[in-house]
Every structure is written in structure tokens, then in C-alpha cells.
Amino acid sequence: MDLIGTKWKPLVLFHLLEGPLRSGILQKKVPDISNKMFTQTVRALEKDSLIERKVYPEVPPKVEYYLTERGKSLENILRSLDKWGKEDIKTTI
């Protein structure tokens, strides 16, 4: 559970199921996450080998994040959590 057991990790991983995303775009897809928390989250996910960061040698710098094979192995879990959340919100509203 430590791998995805925080507020932000599952959201970041879920959005990367779409494919590689630039840093700024990925952060915008995660509502209400601060710059500091975003940085801490992606660094932790990198450390756990769930995502990788690719820096392109251009100006301005271009950074993309993508799922590793280990991260992709969580797809069924992430999609199940998303489905459950969508169904649960219908019953609580």
C-alpha cells in the first residue's frame, strides 16, 4: 500500500495511463495539488520505479513522465479505484 497509498499517487498514476505527459500538463490534471506536493509525489513514484522522467535537451526544458512496466502493472487496480469512486459519488450525492 505504501506504493500508492497517498492522496496524490493514484491520481498521478491514473493520468499517466493515457501515455506520457509533460510535467505541467500532468500537474494540471491533478486538481488542487501544490507545486511542492507534485514534485514530492513524482519523485517518490520515480524512486519506487513506477514512473520515469525524461528530460529533452531543448530550451525551454521539456520534461515528460511515463509509466514503467511496473507502473503499468497497476492499471487494473487504478481503473477499479476510478470506477468505484465514480459509483460511490453517485450514491453520496
The answer to whether residue 82 scores a pLDDT higher than 90 is no
Domains of the chain: 9-92 (1.10.10.10)
Q: Which is higher by pLDDT, 50 or 87?
A: 50
33 within 8 A of 8, measured Cβ to Cβ: yes
What pLDDT shows up at residue 91?
Answer: 78
- List, for residues 10-30, the tens digit of each pLDDT value: 999 999 999 999 999 999 999
Question: Among residues of the chain, what percentage have pLDDT more than 70?
Answer: 98
- List, for residues 61-79, the tens digit of each pLDDT value: 899 999 999 999 999 999 9
What pLDDT shows up at residue 85?
Answer: 84
Residue 51's φ and ψ, nearest 5 degrees, are -135, 160
What is the C-alpha separation between 40 and 91, in angstroms, rounded?
Answer: 33
Four-CA torsion 29, 30, 32, 35, nearest 10 degrees: -100
11 within 8 A of 30, measured Cβ to Cβ: yes
What pLDDT shows up at residue 88?
Answer: 76
DSSP run (H or E) holding 22: strand 21-22
Task: Give me the sign of the Cα torsion angle 37, 6, 79, 51.
Answer: positive
Non-local CB neighbours of 82 within 8 Å, separated by 6+ positions:
14
